[in-house]
């Protein structure tokens, strides 16, 4: 008989982790030389690790804890829902009250043309749901040849087979022999990385011209949908140049291609709006939501679709798609409580007109730091491109980002190291004093990084 070991020492927790756990997006073997960083508790914008070290979380978990950690309102809502009804599926003509109320609430928050919601458990699943809905839609509309999907370099759409195939980061696709056939890349508007002589706006126009050429070469009638994040997050917080996103949306419209706005990071206040697509007037045909929908308290994701798509699907008979936990009542209760908090605390307005403005201003001051080649930021999402001994580097394998992030952590804050940049995107209810503290840690970390 195997007796389960109950770890009492964190050292043994690390050993057990090394023995039994493969971490996502991690060099597992390297990590286990020193052991995983175990986070033990969190409150507000701070997390505390198992050594008792308190760190200011500059990444809101993983761009998701919008309302901060440990909010009693969400904990109570989840507890009450678990006591009342811990689970019931939305399969086979059933559903639950929180699921219905959340679908309605998402519609009331914006993008009024998107009347219906399909629920899933992660951003990846929500993108794969969109892919299947779109294929089904075009079949029902009598256009079965529209099967290709277009998306951009440096985009990140998740890890399921479809979402990986949409993702424009070679590190995510190559090990798995993806993208699958029919997933086509467009140029992403990453001006800094392009080394282009053009201004960002001119570069954006050039990307659009190349996009149109690719659409024509592929054959517009073979393309089902275009997927795009309003700000490309995991690809490096790529903030689109003025006019670019509208141009991209117009191209999709011109060729009858459905436009999918992947707002897994940008929705629920991070850019000072419930939906970035509303803020930038993109009028998407579908929108993808996850992360901030529950502030990460419980996994939940949503694919919102236009009334036209919904009516077509509903006219198509039996809809054979969905997950056991699609519209899980506890997750939906968490989302409703989370959105109620965002509303009660005016967090969208706080980001749009107060803390987001302050954060952006402090962020952009790093354009004067000797270790920074470019600091770019939009409201609560920013990236700093790092220099090596004052020189720009473009090979992502050099990995200045993770090195700098490790140093910043020694100075009291968590930021994300990605390729040769650090990304920062904290909880939305962070205070001015906490923003000051965050950037003091970043500055101390980058000063040290520049000196080695
Ligand atoms: C824009 C975007 N889409 C999709 C995903 C995938 O979401 P998940 O990790 O919940 O599957 C992410 C995750 O970071 C994301 O940033």
DSSP result, 107-154: HHTS-TT--EEEEESSHHHHHHHHHHHHHHHHHHTT-TT--EEEEETT
Separation of 155 CA from ligand 1 center, angstroms?
A: 10
Q: Over the stretch 216-229, which tens digit does the pLDDT of each residue have?
A: 999 999 999 999 99
Is the pLDDT at 6 greater than 60, yes or no? no
The closest alpha carbon to 72, from 341, 300, 332, belongs to: 341
- For the chain, give the percent of residues with pLDDT over 70: 98
Q: Given ligand 1 and candidates 120, 290, 292, 335, which is best to mutate, with the most ligand atoms within 8 Å of its CB? A: 290
**Residue 119 pLDDT level (bands cut at 50, 70, 90):** very high
Separation of 234 CA from ligand 1 center, angstroms?
A: 8
pLDDT of residue 8: 53
185 class by beta-carbon count within 10 Å (0-12 exposed, 13-18 middle, 19+ buried): middle
Separation between Cα atoms, residue 225 and residue 147, nearest integer Å: 8
pLDDT of residue 10: 61
Q: Given ligand 1 and candidates 65, 122, 123, which is best to mutate, with the most ligand atoms within 8 Å of its CB? A: 123
Q: Could you give phi then psi for residue 231, rounded to 5 degrees? A: -120, 125
Which residues in the chain are classed under CATH 3.40.640.10?
A: 73-344
* Residues framing ligand 1 (Cβ under 6 A): 122-124, 127, 156-158, 229, 233-234, 262, 264-265, 290
Q: Over the stretch 323-367, which tens digit does the pLDDT of each residue have?
A: 999 999 999 999 999 999 999 999 999 999 999 999 999 999 999
Q: Given ligand 1 and candidates 64, 120, 156, which is best to mutate, with the most ligand atoms within 8 Å of its CB? A: 156
Separation of 160 CA from ligand 1 center, angstroms?
A: 10
Separation of 451 CA from ligand 1 center, angstroms?
A: 35
Q: Given ligand 1 and candidates 237, 270, 291, 299, which is best to mutate, with the most ligand atoms within 8 Å of its CB? A: 291
Assigned token pair, 172: 């995510």
Q: What CATH code would you report for 73-344?
A: 3.40.640.10
Which residues in the chain are classed under CATH 3.90.1150.10?
A: 37-67+349-451
Separation between Cα atoms, residue 347 and residue 65, nearest integer Å: 13
Separation between Cα atoms, residue 185 and residue 150, nearest integer Å: 6
pLDDT of residue 314: 97
Average pLDDT over residues 134-145: 98
Separation of 317 CA from ligand 1 center, angstroms?
A: 30
The closest alpha carbon to 58, from 447, 348, 433, 422, belongs to: 422
Write down the mean pLDDT value for the chain.
97
CATH class of the domain defined by 37-67+349-451: alpha beta
Please report the atom of ligand 1 found closest to the CA of residue 123: 7
β-pairing, 258-262 with 286-289? parallel
Is the pTM higher than 0.85? yes
Q: Over the stretch 260-302, which tens digit does the pLDDT of each residue have?
A: 999 999 999 999 999 999 999 999 999 999 999 999 999 999 9
């Amino acid at each position: 008989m195997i007796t389960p070991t109950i770890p009492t020492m964190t050292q043994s927790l690390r050993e057990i982790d090394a023995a039994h756990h493969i971490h996502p997006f991690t060099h597992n073997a390297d990590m286990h030389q020193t052991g995983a960083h175990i986070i033990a508790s969190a409150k507000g914008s701070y997390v505390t690790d198992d050594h008792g070290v308190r760190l200011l979380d500059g990444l809101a978990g993983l761009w998701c804890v919008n309302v901060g950690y440990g909010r009693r309102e969400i904990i109570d809502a989840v507890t009450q829902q678990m006591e009342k009804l811990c689970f019931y599926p939305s399969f086979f003509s059933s559903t639950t009250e929180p699921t219905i109320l959340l679908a309605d609430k998402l519609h009331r928050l914006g993008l009024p043309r998107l009347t219906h919601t399909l629920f899933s458990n992660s951003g990846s699943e929500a993108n794969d749901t969109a892919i299947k809905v779109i294929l089904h839609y075009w079949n029902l509309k009598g256009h079965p040849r529209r099967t290709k999907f277009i998306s951009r370099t440096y985009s990140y759409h998740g890890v399921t087979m479809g979402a990986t195939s949409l993702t424009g980061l070679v590190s995510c696709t190559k090990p798995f022999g993806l993208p699958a056939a029919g997933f086509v890349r467009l140029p992403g508007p990453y001006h800094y990385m392009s080394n282009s002589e053009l201004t960002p706006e001119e570069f954006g126009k050039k990307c659009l011209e190349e996009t149109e050429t690719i659409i024509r070469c592929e054959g517009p009638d073979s393309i089902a949908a275009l997927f795009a994040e309003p700000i490309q997050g995991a690809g490096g917080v790529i903030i689109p140049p003025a006019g670019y996103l509208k141009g991209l949306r117009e191209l999709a419209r011109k060729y009858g291609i459905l436009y999918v706005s992947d707002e897994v990071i940008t929705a629920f206040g991070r850019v000072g709006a419930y939906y970035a697509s509303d803020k930038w007037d993109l009028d998407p045909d579908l929108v993808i939501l996850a992360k901030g929908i529950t502030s990460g308290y419980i996994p939940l994701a949503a694919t919102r679709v236009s009334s036209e798509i919904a009516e077509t699907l509903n006219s198509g008979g039996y809809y054979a798609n969905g997950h056991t936990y699609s519209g899980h009542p506890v997750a939906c209760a968490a989302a409703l409580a989370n959105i109620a908090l965002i509303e009660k605390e005016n967090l969208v307005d706080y980001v749009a007109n107060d803390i987001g403005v302050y954060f952006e201003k402090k962020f952009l001051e790093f354009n004067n730091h000797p270790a920074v080649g470019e600091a770019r930021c939009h409201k609560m999402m920013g990236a700093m491109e790092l220099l090596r001994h004052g020189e720009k580097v473009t090979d992502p394998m050099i990995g200045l980002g993770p090195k700098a992030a490790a140093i910043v952590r020694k100075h009291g804050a968590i930021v994300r190291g990605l390729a040769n940049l650090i990304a920062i995107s904290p909880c939305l209810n962070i205070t001015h004093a906490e923003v000051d503290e965050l950037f003091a840690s970043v500055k101390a970390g980058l000063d040290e990084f520049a000196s080695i």
